[in-house]
């Protein structure tokens, strides 16, 4: 009994250190991914508790291949998770088990077992295409005689010219935009990876006009390039505002050109540009770099006109600012969740 409780405490300590120290320092800087790790572990521990596994029985065998496979079935059938979401959760559990194995060889078997679990079959979904004609029609919609029209046109031109992710575009500060000499933007992508994207004259011209009108002749380099109209230049323009803007132009452009999808979203500019680069004969390795993909395989899927987006239906378990979490594994608890410092699993 003492040995069993000791192992439970050890695993709880590993969970705490993985979530609070190892993952943010060595795996990713993305708050979305960090929350995904915590969500997966919360769901897994909640599943074990629903199965009736008590704290005294919480040990390495709680993570064996059979249980992880049962958990995936539970996610799909009880919680209604899609194949993409199940695969995302499995990836998180694998990352944690790999971490434990790196800290203690006795966990190698369960880590290796999880690594052999087959991913659930995904339904391949087509991304609504954005043809060159559709892009041209969209660019003709903003009223370039108004300030908002200039802003919106500049934003769409930047999205298409660079194939930048929406969050990357909204996170750009003036210090990241260099318009003299060899004009470029320095993009902080996923995992805080920096990549430089060079700009063609058309994009440079629009950006110069936009910055002059919205930031003045002596702009603050810490200002966001595209900022909130309500909160000011030190707050990002919101994704909701971008979505509303794009759908407005898509609706009016579709009347003139049926190739413009009325459910337009920012990601379609990125996908369209990647496809058009491919059509123009650009090397796939170059395209992969410009897109900021960590794996060439991701680009291969991308250019097969499918979506690379993983489902991100993850619960917000904690505030992104709440980093100072106590090591609850040090305290005695009467449940696996409390021992591991994870929230008790509630409803779906």
Q: Is the pTM of this model over 0.85?
A: no
Q: Give pLDDT tens digits for 311-324.
A: 222 222 223 333 34
Percentage above 70 pLDDT, the chain: 83
Q: Is the pLDDT of residue 1 over 50?
A: no
Extended beta strands in the chain, E state? 177-178, 184-188, 194-198, 227-228, 232-236
Query: Looking at residues 171-184, what average pLDDT do you find?
Result: 94
| Exposure letters 129-149 (e unless 16+ CB within 10 A, then b) | ebeeebbebbbebbeeeeeee
Query: Which CATH superfamily is 132-302 part of?
Result: Intergrase catalytic core (1.10.443.10)
Predicted pLDDT of residue 85: 86
Q: Give pLDDT tens digits for 18-74.
A: 999 998 888 877 777 888 899 999 998 888 888 888 888 888 888 999 999 999 999
Structure tokens at 321: 């600012």
Q: Strands 184-188 and 227-228, how do they pair?
A: unpaired
CA–centroid distance for 70 within its chain? 27
Write down the domain spans for the chain. Answer: 2-124+311-340, 132-302
Question: CB burial class (10 A; 0-12, 13-18, 19+) of residue 124?
Answer: exposed
Query: Looking at residues 105-127, what average pLDDT do you find?
Result: 81
Q: Strands 184-188 and 194-198, how do they pair?
A: antiparallel
Q: Is the pLDDT of residue 325 over 80?
A: no
Predicted pLDDT of residue 288: 83
129 band by pLDDT with thresholds 50, 70 and 90: low
Q: Is the pLDDT of residue 241 over 60?
A: yes
């Amino acid at each position: 009994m003492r040995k069993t409780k000791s192992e439970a405490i050890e695993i709880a300590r590993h969970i705490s250190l993985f979530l609070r120290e190892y993952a943010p320092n060595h795996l990713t800087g993305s708050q979305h991914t960090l929350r995904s790790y915590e969500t997966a572990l919360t769901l897994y521990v909640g599943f074990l508790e629903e199965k009736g596994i008590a704290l005294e029985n919480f040990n390495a065998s709680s993570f064996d291949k059979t249980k992880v496979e049962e958990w995936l079935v539970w996610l799909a059938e009880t919680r209604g998770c899609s194949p993409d979401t199940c695969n995302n959760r499995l990836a998180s559990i694998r990352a944690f088990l790999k971490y434990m194995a790196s800290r203690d060889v006795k966990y190698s078997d369960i880590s290796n077992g999880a690594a052999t679990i087959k991913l659930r079959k995904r339904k391949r979904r087509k991304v609504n295409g954005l043809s060159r004609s559709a892009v041209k029609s969209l660019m003709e919609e903003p009223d370039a005689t108004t300030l908002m029209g200039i802003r919106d046109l500049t934003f769409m031109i930047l999205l298409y010219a660079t194939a930048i992710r929406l969050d990357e575009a909204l996170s750009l500060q003036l210090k990241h935009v260099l318009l003299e000499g060899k004009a470029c933007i320095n993009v902080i992508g996923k995992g805080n990876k920096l990549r430089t994207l060079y700009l063609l004259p058309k994009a440079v011209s629009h950006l110069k006009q936009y910055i002059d009108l919205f930031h003045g002749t002596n702009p603050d380099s810490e200002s966001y390039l595209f900022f909130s109209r309500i909160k000011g230049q030190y707050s990002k323009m919101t994704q909701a505002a971008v979505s509303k803007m794009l759908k407005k132009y898509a609706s009016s452009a579709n009347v003139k050109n049926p190739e413009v999808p009325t459910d337009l979203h920012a990601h379609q500019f990125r996908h369209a540009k990647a496809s058009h680069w491919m059509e123009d004969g650009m090397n796939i390795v170059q395209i992969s770099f410009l897109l900021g993909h960590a794996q060439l395989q991701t680009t291969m899927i991308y250019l097969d006109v499918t979506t690379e987006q993983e489902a991100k239906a993850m619960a917000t378990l904690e505030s992104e600012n709440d980093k100072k979490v106590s090591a609850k594994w040090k305290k005695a608890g009467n449940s696996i969740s409390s021992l591991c410092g994870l929230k008790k699993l509630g409803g779906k």
